[in-house]
Amino acid sequence: MKSTSYSTMHVAIIMDGNGRWATARGLPRLAGHRAGADAVRRTVEAAASLGVGALTLYAFSSDNWKRPPAEVAGLMQLFQMYLEAQMSECVEHGIRVELIGRRDRLDPELLSTIKDTERETARGRALYLRIAVDYSARDSILRAAAHMDSRADVTRERFARLLDGPPDVDLLIRTGGEQRLSDFLLWECAYAELVFTARMWPDFSREDLESALLAYGGRERRFGGLPGVNGKCLISADFL
């Protein structure tokens, strides 16, 4: 499959299956999360090399605080280690990193690392990497609604800007076999093409990303219109 550029394309991924991947191998769940961190690195590299414009990864939902404290602590430690290890690579390859989600419940040391990463990578233009941590789409929508001026005209465009995101999601991928959005980018995914795969996240590869992009390229996005009017998904011909 040829490399090409999708500089206006927004891909979002629900990274599911770490725990089940570990359990199937007789390993502790945290081992699955460590393997999942390697899959993050591979996927970011693949997305950047393919020229994807924006990549949003669902790393930790607001509901994930319900998990055992030891698992939560391990996840947060892995997140901090990933940022520290990959910051220089992101700077070198022009990858801008940003956290979306709440920050007030994060450990101060982790929050400091996040701020350092965002500052150091702010000039990146090759890929806009957003990592959703302590994130809830419903909460995000509620916060945006609370900031709307009731006296002003409410439009979709104005509201979307309050969500502080890139353009709407073009392609959403969920690994692990489940087929639901799980409170992830609900507004932004209104017309997203959805690809569900049974592949557990630690096993997700460049080939899996390319396969999802290929499936996306074969679909017709009508946005409520008639078939054949809006055309196929916007993908460069040399990708297909």
Which of the residues are catalytic?
A: 16, 64
Question: Given the structure tokens 């945290």, which residue do they identify?
Answer: 30
Phi, psi for 61 (deg, rounded to 5): -85, 165
**Can you state the angle between helices 29-50 and 206-217, rounded to 10 degrees?**
60
Neighbours of 203 (CB within 10 A): 15
8-state DSSP, 220: B
| Nearest to 215, CA basis, from 177, 171, 169 | 171
Question: What burial class does residue 149 get, using C-beta atoms within 10 Å of its C-beta: 0-12 exposed, 13-18 middle, 19+ buried?
Answer: exposed
Element housing 196 (H / E):
strand 193-196
Round to whole Å and give the CA distance between 31 and 140.
31
